[in-house]
Chain A
């Protein structure tokens, strides 16, 4: 019995966003990474080919983090003491992109200075040829101060600067414009807020193909259903032709999963939670896969085993039959 399948026809598509710049383009990256460009819902290859595969980024810090799970610190070992080493290790672990998350303070407790941030970024750029994404510590004043220095230090490298939020985006966008970088725009799990921030940033004159959006997802068990639906709705809106949602989505399942109790805590938890390490990795992988199914273009992960597993999933999802 011949069955005629239902194919959706969409008027819109996601913009392609390229991270990194090679020497020919004024930077020093060994290659660039392009994401986005989807003209159909995730992995519906029979409707439209996906021009770019989703990418896996590994998150590293500018110094050994105080609040990461011991499982992560153990697996990264001594590399976690030095951002350049860590970046190299991440590249070896299979990262397509590096996310460098700056700390608010240095190991001695004093505030991270603009010069420190710039030095960390330069060290990472020197250690790896992968395109780079840099996140500020997440406090408006510190973000603005550090990211301006980072943007200037990495001028021409076409890095992505994060995180723009609705109350703090002007300075970051301005420095991204001045130094030829991209920005990531983060909003708290709401379709409208995501779109609003994209509008505000683009109103400043930054072209839409230099914005990644991070709709915030929550981890498995901690609100992922909202993130999942917000991403599906954003992608549907983009395909329906709403150009303020036609941006690739960067999400941080590593950050989300590794702050859950299930990943952080190994003792004093119910036996039915199972093996700690495998549970923690499952938590990260399953969070990431759920988000890939709803349209993620870049997933930022923390554990190398998760990276390998998620990359295998992406392989499977990119093979139509």
Chain B
């Protein structure tokens, strides 16, 4: 059970020595409760307290990291069931499945398509994380050849879906890497565990039920393997959702160690991939690569794994409301989402066209940003230059929020060609202002 700030505070020395970097022991305790600092930062905490606090801070879901050539794909260490409670930390890695039954040419074409794929989403360069090579042929040599081809064209981390023969043939090719291998089942787990151990690979554990999964993971742990990934198998979306939910709940709420591992989902469709991203998969294998699926999927993953504790921001830029023409007015506001939405909604529902310049004020409202020096003449002027506002409109008149009328003088100096008009303080008065004053 997680301890509150006050409960942790009572276990600390209460000397306010500041050596941990926080002004008081209570401030440090609250950071500990929020899992934002390590207890080790306190040089004076007693051994007894340390033991008590350690229990409440061990990660309930093991962090498993797949590595190759300096790239790393991590899963695990999650602490919540719902992202709003804190955040989801490790984005599920998306791997494209490649069958070793493909011809060399087909394999190369598929590899090249995935390797070349990258999209830009709000300034973030998105690409896929790796490949899952499957031993469809059942032939160890052919599997090793396929893995060799993959390695010749890609440096991304790998998942090897194969039995003992395939893995024994392919794993030596991946020295120095941490691939994920398996799946280990009731029938083959001993051999696979031995191979995974020998080649320092993470092992995928498959089971038809929670009971089977837990039993198998315990056995494999007993064989000395720590880095496991669970692959719950169910026939329907509802079944998959239930199993993934059970595993996450047991780990977080009951600290149930046999299921305290990230999970893997195999997605045959966009729909299945969506459920995997939103509901707890640690790794996702895409049965097929298609850019029109990969792009929205990677975007969804960015969205769901955004830290919800950060102020809600909209992208700074020029927003066109009701199809404005070059003669229509130019309004200015900040990129705090609520501020943006209230302005945009008022204007949108008034039917009046306008250009809305959203300035990067670090996600603060107009007054807060002004008070903190994040919404000043310099920033506004910079936005106008960056967004080339002068080229978008045929006039040079901008409307400043009434709350920052004080900036009009400085803004005149920063944007000497522009006429600065002071608008109303509240968004609700904007349509009236636009009708009367513009």
Whether both chains belong to one complex is answered with yes
A 230-272 contacts with B by CB, 8 A: 232-233, 236, 262, 270-272
Which chain A positions have C-beta within 8 A of B242?
43-46, 320
Q: How far is the CA of A1 from the CA of B219 in the complex (A)?
A: 11
B 233-248 contacts with A by CB, 8 A: 234-239, 241-242, 245-246
B241 engages A272 (CB within 8 Å): no
Chain B residue nearest to A50 in the complex (CB): B238
User: How many chain-B residues does the 8 Å CB contact rule pick out?
Assistant: 62
Interface assignment of A72: CB less than 8 Å from any CB of chain B: no
Query: A43-B241, A104-B351, A188-B345 known; A274 and B300 CB under 8 Å?
Result: no
A 203-225 contacts with B by CB, 8 A: 220-221, 223-225
Query: A104-B351, A318-B238, A319-B236 known; A262 and B296 CB under 8 Å?
Result: yes
B214 engages A228 (CB within 8 Å): no
Interface assignment of A275: CB less than 8 Å from any CB of chain B: yes
Which chain B positions have C-beta within 8 A of A282?
270, 292-293, 296
Chain B residue nearest to A278 in the complex (CB): B292
Which chain A positions have C-beta within 8 A of B270?
282, 285-286, 289
B253 engages A6 (CB within 8 Å): yes
Best-buried of A43, A226, A282, A319 by chain B (most CB within 10 Å):
A282
Interface assignment of B103: CB less than 8 Å from any CB of chain A: no
Which chain A positions have C-beta within 8 A of B234?
321
B292 engages A43 (CB within 8 Å): no
Q: How far is the CA of A272 from the CA of B156 in the complex (A)?
A: 19
Interface assignment of A17: CB less than 8 Å from any CB of chain B: no
B246 engages A6 (CB within 8 Å): yes
A1 engages B271 (CB within 8 Å): no
Q: Interface range on chain A: under 10, 10 to 19, 20 to 34, or 35 or more?
A: 35 or more
Query: A3-B210, A3-B211, A220-B299 known; A228 and B249 CB under 8 Å?
Result: no
Best-buried of A140, A236, A271, A286 by chain B (most CB within 10 Å):
A286
B274 engages A293 (CB within 8 Å): yes
A290 engages B214 (CB within 8 Å): no
Interface assignment of A169: CB less than 8 Å from any CB of chain B: no
A236 engages B82 (CB within 8 Å): yes
Interface assignment of A11: CB less than 8 Å from any CB of chain B: no
Interface assignment of A123: CB less than 8 Å from any CB of chain B: no
Q: How far is the CA of A78 from the CA of B218 in the complex (A)?
A: 62
Q: How far is the CA of A56 from the CA of B117 in the complex (A)?
A: 34
Interface assignment of B367: CB less than 8 Å from any CB of chain A: no
Interface assignment of A65: CB less than 8 Å from any CB of chain B: no
Mark B199-234 against chain A: 1 for CB-CB distance below 8 A, else 0: 000000000001100110010000000000000001
B238 engages A321 (CB within 8 Å): yes
From A154-162, A194-202, A309-317, the one touching the partner chain is A309-317
Which chain A positions have C-beta within 8 A of B370?
none
Query: A138-B349, A274-B293 known; A321 and B210 CB under 8 Å?
Result: no
Which chain A positions have C-beta within 8 A of B237?
43, 313, 316-317, 319
Q: How far is the CA of A139 from the CA of B347 in the complex (A)?
A: 11
Interface SS of chain B = helix
Interface assignment of B89: CB less than 8 Å from any CB of chain A: no
Within the complex, which residue of B116, B211, B238 is in contact with A45, where a contact is CB–CB below 8 Å? B238
Interface assignment of B384: CB less than 8 Å from any CB of chain A: no
Q: How far is the CA of A221 from the CA of B315 in the complex (A)?
A: 11
A 291-310 contacts with B by CB, 8 A: 293-294, 309
Chain A residue nearest to B209 in the complex (CB): A3
B271 engages A3 (CB within 8 Å): no
A 138-161 contacts with B by CB, 8 A: 138-140
B300 engages A220 (CB within 8 Å): yes
Which chain B positions have C-beta within 8 A of A190?
338
Interface assignment of B22: CB less than 8 Å from any CB of chain A: no
Interface assignment of A82: CB less than 8 Å from any CB of chain B: no
A229 engages B84 (CB within 8 Å): yes
Q: How far is the CA of A141 from the CA of B304 in the complex (A)?
A: 37
B291 engages A1 (CB within 8 Å): no
A137 to chain B: closest CB distance in Å? Answer: 9
Q: How far is the CA of A228 from the CA of B312 in the complex (A)?
A: 14
B300 engages A290 (CB within 8 Å): yes
Chain B residue nearest to A5 in the complex (CB): B246
Which chain A positions have C-beta within 8 A of B241?
43, 293, 317
B290 engages A228 (CB within 8 Å): no
B341 engages A225 (CB within 8 Å): no
Within the complex, which residue of B210, B279, B300, B351 is in contact with A5, where a contact is CB–CB below 8 Å? B210
Chain B residue nearest to A140 in the complex (CB): B349
Which chain B positions have C-beta within 8 A of A233?
82, 84
A6 engages B119 (CB within 8 Å): no
B274 engages A188 (CB within 8 Å): no
Which chain B positions have C-beta within 8 A of A294?
278
A293 engages B238 (CB within 8 Å): no
Which chain B positions have C-beta within 8 A of A2?
211
A228 engages B278 (CB within 8 Å): yes
A to B CB contacts below 8 Å, 8 in the list: A2-B211, A46-B242, A221-B296, A226-B312, A289-B275, A316-B237, A317-B241, A319-B238
New contact pairs (18) apart from A272-B118, A282-B293, A286-B271, CB-CB < 8 Å? A1-B214, A3-B246, A3-B259, A6-B254, A45-B242, A188-B345, A220-B296, A220-B303, A221-B296, A228-B303, A274-B293, A275-B292, A276-B292, A279-B292, A293-B275, A316-B238, A319-B239, A320-B242
In order of increasing CB-CB distance, the 10 nearest A-B pairs are A274-B292, A274-B291, A316-B237, A279-B292, A1-B215, A229-B84, A6-B249, A225-B303, A319-B236, A289-B274
